[in-house]
Amino acid sequence: MNCVALQGIRGGVGTSSLVAGLALAAREQGARVLAVDLCQDNLLGIHLGLPHADARGWSRLADPAQEWRSALHHYEEGLDLLPHGAQSGASAGAWLQALEGYDLVLLDLPMGPVPEIPCQLLTVVNADANCHVRLHRHVWAVGERLLVTQFTSRRALQQDLLDLWQAAGLPLLGLRLHRDEAMAEAMAAKQPVGRYAPTSLIAHELASLASWCLGAGGDGPC
Amino acid sequence: MLAWLLTPTVSLWCSRHYQGLRRQGGSRLGSAGLTLVWLLAWALFPLERHGWQWVLGHAEGLYPHLARPRVGDPLRILLQSLWIIVRRPKPIPLRWPASWQRAWQWGTQALGRFLIRQEERGLAAARATPREARWKSVLLCAVAGTLSLLCITQPFTLQAQLVFVIMLMGMAFILRAVPGRYPMLMMMVLSLTVSCRYIWWRYTSTLDWFDPVSLTCGLLLLAAETYAWIVLLLGYWQTAWPLNRPPAPLPADSAQWPSVDLMIPTYNEDLAIVKGTVYAALALDWPADKLTVWLLDDGDRASFRAFAEEAGIRYVARPTHEHAKAGNINHALKQASGDLVAIFDCDHLPTRSFLQMTVGWFYRDPRLGVVQTPHHFFSADPFEHNLQRFRKMPNEGALFYGLVQDGNDMWDASFFCGSCAVIKRSALDEIGGIAVETVTEDAHTSLRLHRLGYTSAYIRIPLAAGLATESLSAHIGQRIRWARGMVQILRLDNPLFGKGLNLGQRLCYFNAMLHFLSGIPRLIFLTAPLAFLILHAYIIYAPAAAIALYMLPHIFHSALTNSRLQGKVRHSFWGEVYETVLAWYIARPTTVALFAPHKGKFNVTAKGGMTEEVYLDLSVSRPYLILILLNLCGLGFGIWRICTGPADEVLTLILSMLWTLYNMTILGGALAVAFESRQVRTNPRVEMVMPAAIKLANGHLYPCTLKDYSNGGVGVLLEDALPLADKERVWLLLRHGQREQAFAAKVQRVFGRKLGLELEPMAQAQHIAFIQCTFARADTWSLWQQRLGKDRPLHSLLDITLLGWGAYWRLARTSPIGFVCILFEKLARWLLSFVPRRVSPDFRSGAPTTQTVKG
């Protein structure tokens, strides 16, 4: 069972959209996927068709380790969502180890400490000056990789920052996700981007990322 | 009229049917005839029954050639119906029994494995004990030499020769199917045996010493055949064991890498072409402080100077212009001070990995003088262009760059070809710069380097690509220059004599020069049978059966062995066409150069022009037309002699006429090349498959595949059709390495998933980036030899035959008797329309079947 955690280096880089799109892409490659929303904002559900008024989530459970199945939202066959529940004070803890029965578990992490479970950590960044400064202050975890999103080749600053990060030896993932209007429109349509615009470039890139995730990361081509 | 024969209902139906046929485009006669047939059919057959209704319902599938009603349709219907009744829809294919095929497969694979084991054992033993191996090989050669001498000179009766020949042919067929290098060497031995026997027989028993005309013609033909035999021998020697040298790694620390001067000599070419090369050179993966790009302008043009300043490269123009390109480079070398010199023609764009792949060998071998890489062309040369065979079969240069140079490398004799190479500066200084005494300065330079003991290397990977010559006349001009130069070197600096070269190098250089002397022998071959047909001179003084038994195996074995040896880089019989095209033109310059090597001037190859319409280049094709006319005369004479001459000569006459027909086929092929066809693009299109993305103005991105590109536009294949308007602005996203670049473009044409984009004018930085993303990619030309079909000799021969005789038909159509040809064509088409067509077993699904007879 592969576990991949995505954490934005700051808010608004597009982590939740990514988790939703990645979950669908992995599903389309035949895996059974569970997307877990660990952010109190509870926005991952909007991407995966959860009605806004629906209040279930793991934060409302007394014993998440035993009862997590009761809070699941089934988006479709083989793709499940475990929403947060928007209850304050709940923290992701050892109960995450109890998740089982899936080929891929995707964690949507908020800013802050990373839970202590074995997972591949992907830090989501945009190639701008703000993230550059944050990266400078960033404390690196073992095996952490940087995933660049919202990439536009027409912005010289983005290319230059990426060259700089490359030269500095930061653990950049080779794949870059482009800034595609389809991603913005997908959330507005309350669908993951692979369902909303399957022919778009971002859907293809997420498919590559999904196959990398399913291969448990490592140094495979990505 | 029919009203008083038929009831009113029936005549109404008839007139309705007739009107329907007329509406479909049928003539009055045709529609009337068909209506009558229809009437008859309804009167005679129970067409309302289910079976007939089914046939009528599927009429379109069962009778695919009856789209438009025509006069002969009743006959066509009858013939097609008979055909469908008689023939199976899916014919049983003719195959050898499966057990035979399996046995053959097993046998040849087992033999191949055995021979590969022997080869490995032999190589290991040779490496382990070189002296012993050398003694063994000398002994083996001596024994083999005596045995073969016996074999070659032993005269056979005709029956014995027949048996011998059949045995050898059988062995050659079997060896042809066995994979590995040893079977190839064995085929070579067989071919050499047969060819040497043939030459011995020619020298000893086929000259008529009593008739002076026969003697002269016979001696001329014998000289030509001896030339061909020597070229065959040396060719086998040269290409028996291609080295396939891999690139060598550079030291890990880039501070130790040598400094390189990259020179781009130019004379009168367009700035647009040179810009591409300069940008690609600037994109090379090499430390910037160790690479200097030089633009050597022999035309003193201000635009070039301005461009060089803008691009930040060195510009050199010289006051005098002697010795053309060699002088140009030598002049610039006085100012250059790098360790290595890389030379590129102004239209050869290097890929980014050029230096990294080639310079490594200078570390591996301290005596290395020059590293050469192939000249790959991304545009079609005149043969491929005029015959529409671009990327369908290997082009003319593929034999040299794909096999011959590789074989030369085995003997340490691969030579410098003037471009796409790296030379050691100290070695160049030692020989006094690039050689200026001959017009082929490149081969002469590497000959001198070899004489001083330097070695050379050839890496078979295409690391640069350029423009092929535009028109046939430019191509011929280029070859004349090479031929003249090589023969000059033969006279002035003969590789067979003089010190410093080992035997392998001497033979390889000699063969390269000998190859260019093929003009006169080829002309002799093209006119030899005419000596017998017109002049009645016995050029081969032997009975027809003997000629057949000696000559045919010789041709057969050399064709088969060459097909095995060279099949991937040249298809069978095309070499004859290429040689024939050049024969007339290189005959005189090479003969002149052979006797007076200092005469003759340097003419530059024209590149990057544009031909407007289809025309027969008469100035170029005049010699072929003369030869064709002579051959036609010969055929006429032959027919006359068959009718009026002695009976025992008929067989010889028939053989001569067959030879003449073969010559005419080859000449037809040469003529076909002379029909220059349309070339409306100023920028040649390069075929390259690359992933890319397209960004629309509304911010959506879509993946696509780049199919072809040039300096003006790109062709793109989308994954799904997009609703794009004409002249809509999009961005094409291309990657090179880790950087991505967006190029503004306008949509030029949309056809389903295919998109044609016209790139907008780019600033210099953008242009550099475009070259980096496309032409300078490291793997751009790596597929240069894939997807080119396997060599099939008979298929090749058929192809050339159709091409050659098709060219004659084209010529006839444009000549004064053209209307007869057009009439013939119309008649042939009309007759062919009666031929029954194939009906596929699932015609019910409406899928069209491919038809061999069209129209």
CA–CA separation, A165 vs A135, rounded Å?
10
- Residue owning tokens 């030692």: B430
Question: Which has more confidence, B441 or A220?
Answer: B441
For the stretch B736-769, pLDDT in tens is: 877 888 999 999 889 888 999 998 888 888 888 8
CA–CA separation, B769 vs B766, rounded Å?
5
- B180's tokens: 């590995």
Burial class (CB in 10 A: 0-12, 13-18, 19+), B479: buried
Chain A touched by B543 (CB under 8 Å): no
Instruction: State the distance between the two ends of chain A, measured CA to CA, in whole angstroms.
Output: 20
Give, as one character, the DSSP assignment of residue B2: G
So what's the pLDDT on residue B710?
67
Determine the average pLDDT of the residues in B545-554. 89
Q: Which are the contacts of B78, defined by CB distance < 8 A and separation ≥ 6?
A: none
CA–CA separation, B435 vs B326, rounded Å?
7
Residue in B699, B720, B731 closest to A199 by CB:
B720
Contact B414, B456 (CB under 8 A): yes
Q: How many CB atoms lie within 10 A of CB B541?
A: 18
Q: Which are the contacts of B202, defined by CB distance < 8 A and separation ≥ 6?
A: B222, B225, B540, B550
For the stretch B406-420, pLDDT in tens is: 999 999 999 999 899
- B82's tokens: 């008979």
CA–CA separation, B299 vs B591, rounded Å?
32
Q: How distant, in Å, are the alpha carbons of A3, A193, A194, A208, A210 from that of A203?
A: 21, 6, 5, 9, 10
Chain A touched by B741 (CB under 8 Å): yes
Angle at A104 between CA A103 and CA A105, to 5 degrees: 130
CA–CA separation, A90 vs B572, rounded Å?
79
CA–CA separation, A182 vs A203, rounded Å?
9
Which amino acid does the sequence have at B215? Answer: L
pTM summary value: 0.80
Contacts of A201 in chain B (CB under 8 A): 693, 701-703
The residue from B73, B261, B298, B412 that is catalytic is B298
Q: Which are the contacts of A5, defined by CB distance < 8 A and separation ≥ 6?
A: A106, A107, A109, A114, A115, A119, A120, A121, A122
- Alpha helices (H) along B645-750: 650-674
- Alpha helices (H) along B334-418: 354-358, 360-364, 382-386, 398-399, 405-410
Which amino acid does the sequence have at B566? Answer: Q
Contact B429, B389 (CB under 8 A): no
CA–CA separation, B312 vs B716, rounded Å?
33
Contact B217, B534 (CB under 8 A): no
pLDDT band for B22, please (50, 70, 90 cuts). confident
Q: Would you call A178 and B693 a contact, using CB atoms and an 8 Å cutoff?
A: yes
Q: Shortest CA distance to B35 belongs to which of B65, B6, B64?
A: B6
222 residues of chain A, pLDDT tens digit each: 889 999 999 988 989 999 999 999 999 999 999 999 998 888 999 998 888 888 888 888 888 888 888 889 999 999 999 999 888 877 777 888 888 899 999 999 998 888 888 889 999 999 999 999 999 999 998 889 999 999 998 888 998 999 999 999 999 998 899 999 999 999 899 999 999 999 999 999 999 999 999 985 555 555
Query: Does B298 participate in catalysis according to the annotation?
Result: yes
CA–CA separation, B115 vs B187, rounded Å?
13
Residue in A154, A176, A200 closest to B700 by CB:
A200
Chain A touched by B760 (CB under 8 Å): no
Query: Does B442 participate in catalysis according to the annotation?
Result: yes
Q: How distant, in Å, are the alpha carbons of A207, B243, B700 from that of B411?
A: 52, 9, 58
CA–CA separation, A68 vs B794, rounded Å?
73
Angle at B84 between CA B80 and CA B87, to 5 degrees: 125
The interface predicted TM-score of the complex, written ipTM, equals 0.89
pLDDT band for B323, please (50, 70, 90 cuts). confident
Which phi and psi angles does A139 have, rounded to 5°? -100, 120
Question: Which has more confidence, B788 or A153?
Answer: A153
Determine the average pLDDT of the residues in B29-49. 84
Q: Would you call A153 and B700 a contact, using CB atoms and an 8 Å cutoff?
A: no
pLDDT band for B718, please (50, 70, 90 cuts). very high
So what's the pLDDT on residue B85?
84
- A209's tokens: 């990322």
So what's the pLDDT on residue B783?
66
Q: Would you call B740 and A159 a contact, using CB atoms and an 8 Å cutoff?
A: yes
Contacts of A153 in chain B (CB under 8 A): 733, 739-742
Residue B422 C-alpha from the chain's centroid: 27
Q: Which are the contacts of B470, defined by CB distance < 8 A and separation ≥ 6?
A: B382, B606, B607, B608, B609, B610, B611, B679
Q: Which are the contacts of B545, defined by CB distance < 8 A and separation ≥ 6?
A: B158, B651
Is pLDDT above 60 for B35? yes
SS3 A44: helix
For the stretch B236-295, pLDDT in tens is: 988 888 888 999 999 999 899 999 999 999 988 888 889 889 999 998 999 999 999 999
So what's the pLDDT on residue B342?
96
Is pLDDT above 70 for B724? yes
CA–CA separation, B328 vs B441, rounded Å?
12
Contact A200, A222 (CB under 8 A): no
pLDDT band for B611, please (50, 70, 90 cuts). very low
So what's the pLDDT on residue B11?
84
- Alpha helices (H) along B324-376: 324-333, 354-358, 360-364
Q: Least CA distance to B698: which residue of chain A?
A: A181
Which phi and psi angles does B798 have, rounded to 5°? -60, -40
- Between A148-162, B566-580, B763-777, the lowest mean confidence (pLDDT) is in B763-777
Which phi and psi angles does B730 have, rounded to 5°? -135, 170
Best mutation target among A160, A170, A176, A200 (most B Cβ atoms within 10 Å) is A200
So what's the pLDDT on residue B681?
45
Stated as kind and residue range, the H or E segment containing B807 is helix B793-814
Q: Kindly report each contact of residues B653-660 with a partner whose C-beta sits within 8 Å and lies 24 or more positions away, as own/partner.
A: B653/B532, B653/B533, B654/B544, B655/B544, B655/B547, B655/B548, B656/B529, B656/B532, B656/B533, B657/B529, B657/B533, B659/B528, B659/B529, B660/B529, B660/B530, B660/B533, B660/B631, B660/B634, B660/B635
Is pLDDT above 80 for B612? no
Residue in A153, A163, A176 closest to B741 by CB:
A153
- Residue owning tokens 């022999």: B298
CA–CA separation, B79 vs B807, rounded Å?
34
pLDDT band for B345, please (50, 70, 90 cuts). very high
Q: Would you call B719 and A199 a contact, using CB atoms and an 8 Å cutoff?
A: yes
The residue from B442, B617, B708, B791 that is catalytic is B442
So what's the pLDDT on residue B680?
45
pLDDT band for B632, please (50, 70, 90 cuts). very high
Is pLDDT above 70 for B307? yes
Q: Which are the contacts of B22, defined by CB distance < 8 A and separation ≥ 6?
A: B28, B31
SS3 B784: coil
CA–CA separation, B86 vs B80, rounded Å?
10
**Pairing status of strand B349-350 against strand B464-466:** antiparallel
Contact B771, B279 (CB under 8 A): yes
Average pLDDT score over chain B: 86
Residue B465 pairs with which residues in a beta bridge?
Answer: B349, B376
Is the four-CA dihedral B232, B233, B234, B238 of positive or negative sign?
A: positive
Q: Would you call B701 and A201 a contact, using CB atoms and an 8 Å cutoff?
A: yes
For the stretch B61-103, pLDDT in tens is: 778 777 777 878 888 888 888 888 887 767 677 788 888 889 9
Chain A touched by B705 (CB under 8 Å): no
